[in-house]
Structure 1
Amino acid sequence: MTITANNWKNKKGTADRNCNCGSWKQHWINNSSKSWPSECSIYNCNNTATLGAHVINSNVSGEKIIPSCATCNKLEGEFSLKGGVTVVSANKSETCEK
């Protein structure tokens, strides 16, 4: 499934959320079946991806998790993702708590 790279935003108020995976980074790894990328998923950012960020997009259903750096995880407003970024559902009932 192809998902738009544009018009993403960080989902506010997710810092206290957890899942059975232990971290949102591990959640992304477990549910993407991919290796953790070395770089942040945000367009024009080359920082090291250190966490799984909760993101939303008005054109995409539900909250998603992407690999992100701590700086981009605090971005205000809309941003674009790099091409080919894998987004994983943050909905635990669809993923790690099935």
Structure 2
Amino acid sequence: MDVSGENWGNKVGTTERDCSCGSWMNHWVKMTGKAWPMACSVEGCDEKATLGAHVYHANVEGERIVPMCAGCNKKGEKFNLKGGTSVPSARRDECAR
């Protein structure tokens, strides 16, 4: 997906959501075909990526998943993603495909 890495936001209230992949980390790996990255996807953050965070963007339909550290997952303000970050859909039904 070719979309700007600027002006992403955290989706609030997604803690209790689950995925048939077993975790949102597994979902991201399955949907992107990539290995889980060591660092958070938020520009300027080098903390360890420990969770699959639900994010949104005004120019992208639906919620997306990105690797993120716990601290950045609590950001209330908009943030930029590092270049090359894959942002697959957070739709649970896509796991079964």
TM-score, normalization by structure 2: 0.96
Post-superposition Cα deviations, 1:32-71, rounded to whole Å, max 9, x if no partner, equal: 1000001100000000101100000111111000000000
Among the aligned pairs, what percent are the same residue?
49
Residue of structure 2 in register with 1:77 after alignment: 77
Structure 1: gaps spanning 5 or more residues: none
Runs of at least 4 residues off by over 6 Å: none
Q: Which amino acid aligns with 1:73?
A: N
Q: Which has the higher strand share?
A: 1
Aligned-CA RMSD value = 0.9
TM-score, normalization by structure 1: 0.95
Q: Which amino acid aligns with 2:75?
A: L
Residue of structure 1 in register with 2:9 after alignment: 9
Structure 2: gaps spanning 5 or more residues: none
Q: Which amino acid aligns with 2:41?
A: S
